[in-house]
Chains A and B, each alone.
Chain A
Amino acid sequence: MSDVKYSKEHEWIKLEGDIATIGITKHATEMLGDIVFTELPEKGTSVEKDGTAGVVESTKAASDVYTPISGEVVDTNQAIVDDPSKINQDPENSAWFFKLKVKDKSEMESLMNKEDYDKFAKESSS
């Protein structure tokens, strides 16, 4: 999974060709607790790097989901809207949030690899 990168806002992004799949990390779900509501961006909308592109809510609070890269939303995962608990179960795989047609692949360069992210996540939670 060397093609997966991570953001400081705890999103993961997997690039295949010019399509990026984005979700939130396992660490993020552990901090949030049980996710009970999800809102995703609409297909066809353009999102800007570091802009909000969705919402997840736990029983306690709402949190914005940011996109770590700019692009046009080409697909969203209805399964996690219908059953948000799927995000807690499988955050970094089947419970992806949305897919983007990437505008500028060089934006990936500022993101972290797995090793750096794990270190960052550990530090930010301690």
Chain B
Amino acid sequence: MEIKKTSLYKLHQNNNAKFVEFAGYQMPIQYSDGIVEEHKFTRMHSGIFDVSHMGQLFIYGENNLTEDLEKIFPLDLKNLKINHSKYSFLMNDDAGIYDDLIVTKLEKGFLIILNAACKENDFKILSKLLNGKYEMLLDEKRSLIAIQGPKSVKILNNIIQGVEDLNFMSGNWFSFHDQKIYVTRSGYTGEDGFEVSILNELSEKFTKELINKGAKLIGLGARDTLRLEAGLCLYGHELNKDKTPVEANLKWAISKDRVSKGNFIGSNIITKQLNDGVSKIRVGIKPEGKIIAREKTKIFNQSDLHIGEITSGTFGPSVNGPVAMGYVENEFSNKDTKVFLEVRGKKYPANICGLPFYKKSYVKGVNK
């Protein structure tokens, strides 16, 4: 299969990107500054992330669309306001996660942002579930550009006036060079920021304007360290079809009202797990020293029993130390529980900790 390129590929090249293949796309893992500097720049200033490999699924339809989507997602979509977004999951009957995603209500339908590696499969599953009743478009003509970090609001508002009035997890249509762009105040770094859905022809022009105003291109490498410090899950690591949202410690994303009524895919298992608890659960893990425990590192308790595994682990540049997430048996999931991580044959002490490692700075109270 031919490797795909995003509309910003040339711009990445001109900015000395190092590329890596990710989900069938040639994506920038870092630029000349390197992952640590790019990470810190995003936390202090404003980073631009090409996330055009992610799926932008538009579903349009009349009255029943909301009801039909509620049979799929554990969300209270009837009460979701237009231009507001929710984090959710596409699940199988056992509540195993096919994908984690963001659903935004539009005037005549919904926009769902899907993970790059899952989008084709999601589209098949959703097409089947919705039975061809609605117009579904996995839009390849639009790019998705995230701008993240404390200076992003000022920089973006300079180019697209009015974005400063958006609250976290809400969006609206704006225009850029007479073309419609959809901007949401969201992202995956733990910082205030935006995601911009824009036509491929305009994406480079738009990104260059952001750069001219002081933002910098940031690669997927820093995106990973940023999201891990923010305690956010990455599909294929923390999440997969053998894990449920309850096990992933994401029950906050499941509508309580919907659970009480049931009637969505996986609702039986979700209800059971919410009532009875789960045997394994996702936690934050902080090694005591400098040792970095990577994905698949085994976790032991104080009696040397194997109690779980790391799903993501790296050095957190803002925390200035190692950070990790993983799954442990429920009885060892309490904060401050001492555990041991087996790295290169030796066991190193670590503690179960709360998430995030780095405080999130989402903007929720914009007056309007």
Interface residues of A (CB under 8 A from B): 33-34, 36-37, 55, 57-62, 81, 85, 88
Chain B's closest residue to A36 (CB) is: B315
Asked if B315 and A33 sit within 8 Å, CB to CB, the answer is no
Chain A residues, CB < 8 A from B317? 36, 59
**Contacts known (A34-B36, A37-B292, A62-B292); A55 close to B344, Cβ less than 8 A:** yes
What separation, in Å, do the CA atoms of A81 and B317 have in the docked complex? 16
What separation, in Å, do the CA atoms of A37 and B317 have in the docked complex? 12
Asked if A62 and B291 sit within 8 Å, CB to CB, the answer is no
Asked if B221 and A60 sit within 8 Å, CB to CB, the answer is yes
- Contacts A34-B36, A62-B294 known; list 16 others, CB within 8 Å: A33-B35, A33-B221, A36-B36, A37-B291, A37-B315, A37-B322, A57-B292, A57-B315, A58-B35, A59-B35, A59-B39, A59-B221, A59-B314, A61-B294, A62-B292, A88-B34
| A121 shortest CB reach to chain B, Å | 16
B251 at the interface (CB under 8 A from A): no
Interface size in chain B (residues, C-beta < 8 A)? 19
Asked if B294 and A33 sit within 8 Å, CB to CB, the answer is no
What separation, in Å, do the CA atoms of A36 and B315 have in the docked complex? 7
Give B12-50 as 1s and 0s: 1 = Cβ < 8 Å from A's Cβ atoms.
Answer: 000000000000000001100011110100000000000
Chain A residues, CB < 8 A from B152? none
Q: Which of B39, B291, B292 has the most CB of A within 10 A?
A: B292
Would you list 8 pairs from A and B whose C-beta atoms are within 8 A, ordered by A residue?
Answer: A36-B36, A37-B290, A37-B291, A37-B322, A58-B35, A59-B314, A81-B290, A85-B36
Q: Among residues 284 to 314 in chain B, which have CB atoms less than 8 Å away from a CB atom of chain A?
A: 290-292, 294, 314
Secondary structure dominating the interface of B:
mixed
B225 at the interface (CB under 8 A from A): yes
Give B73-96 as 1s and 0s: 1 = Cβ < 8 Å from A's Cβ atoms.
Answer: 000000000000000000000000
Chain B residues, CB < 8 A from A58? 35
Chain A residues, CB < 8 A from B34? 33-34, 88
| B97 shortest CB reach to chain A, Å | 25
Chain B's closest residue to A37 (CB) is: B292
Chain A's closest residue to B320 (CB) is: A36
Chain B residues, CB < 8 A from A85? 36
Asked if A59 and B315 sit within 8 Å, CB to CB, the answer is yes
Chain B residues, CB < 8 A from A61? 294
| A41 shortest CB reach to chain B, Å | 13
What separation, in Å, do the CA atoms of A58 and B225 have in the docked complex? 11
| A19 shortest CB reach to chain B, Å | 28
Q: Which of A36, A59, A61, A88 has the most CB of B within 10 A?
A: A59
